Structure 1
């Protein structure tokens, strides 16, 4: 009878351990999926920015410094995105959002640019991508929080340490960048 009890207890522990492991794997993949969603949007925005810069160059011949700032920040975002460096991505995103804010503010001085259908389309597209990135960032950070909490909680920490589950970094922007860029306000 004692052997059966010990065997039943061992089976329960093994089944519980497998359930914990499977749950941790699911959470890990949720974080990866959330990052993939952000990555897709960043890539789409990355592809739109050269079009915006070219459109602006046609009207803003002497505002090269503003355009260079956007191009430089775009390159830094791309590098951080490709390496998956969340901390570098946060910094690069801050620079890019500031550069875009400056670009759209400077564009206010160019009525022909503001009236350009191509510029208006790109402005709307980039604004939509910015909003989507902000939404996906929230989802990503929530998935990271769940992952990080679960791998530190008992008894999950035992399974997580055995199988080397790692904490992930939150995607954090500077406090000044947490508000959405309201581009339509600049051109309304």
Structure 2
């Protein structure tokens, strides 16, 4: 009788541990997906601002077609990117193209003084800050998730349920440095 009670208690304890670990894994997985959604929201917001910026610049620097075309190509690549690695590469390309557009404002004083251009530049700068915060939050959440699925005892359950490590949203090369936006 005592053995049966101990066995029942042991099964209940193991079951509770399984439930707690499983729920923790699900919560972290959902948090990673929500963090990625926030990055996607900010990247989409930036992509929506770019056509207005390009149209504003076209009016002042029509012969800078190559620069403006590069921005549009980078924007299209960013919109079609899927997953953190592809999105990071597209994000880096778009950031470089935007730097070129902002550099144009130095060559065109009328553009630099245009209130529409200045407002768009300010919006893009604010959006870049939001992207940086969302990226940091996402990477922190991915770190917690990856650690959880790789450490005992949750790695046993994660392995049984095919939980795989997630990719970080990382900047590559020169994009790891600060982005300078000239006003």
Large movers: runs of 4+ above 3 Å: none
SS in 1 for 2:76: helix
The answer to which of 152-161 and 11-20 deviates more is 152-161
Q: Deviations over 1:107-149 (max 9, x none)?
A: 2100111111100000000000001101110000011111111
Once the 2 structures are TM-superposed, how far is the Cα of residue 180 of structure 1 from its aligned partner?
Answer: 3.9
Aligned length: 182
Contact 1:130 1:180 in 2 (8 A): no
Shift of 1:32: 0.7
Unaligned runs of 5+ in 1: none
Partner of 2:168 in structure 1? 170
1:108 alignment counterpart: 106
Q: Output the TM-score relative to the length of structure 2.
A: 0.96
5 Å matches for 1:39-118? 39-80=40-81, 84-118=82-116
TM-score by length of 1: 0.94
Q: Tell me the CA shift for residue 182 of structure 1.
A: 2.9
The equivalences for 1:154-169 within 5 A come to 154-169=152-167
Equivalent in 135, 138, 144 of residue 136 of structure 2: 138
